[in-house]
Amino acid sequence: MTEEKINLFIALITSLASTCWMQLGKVPNPMTNKIEKELESAKFTIELLRMLKNKTQGNLTTEEEQVLISVITDLELNYAEEVKKENQSAN
Which CATH number does 3-90 carry? Answer: 1.20.58
Residues 6+ apart with CB under 8 A from 11: none
Express each pLDDT in 5-57 by its tens digit: 658 999 999 999 999 999 999 999 999 999 999 999 999 999 999 999 999 99
The whole-angstrom separation of Cα 21 and Cα 8 is: 20
Residue 91's pLDDT is 75
Residue 2's pLDDT is 57
* Nearest C-alpha neighbor of 43 from the set 69, 61, 23: 23
**Residue extents of the structural domains in the chain:** 3-90
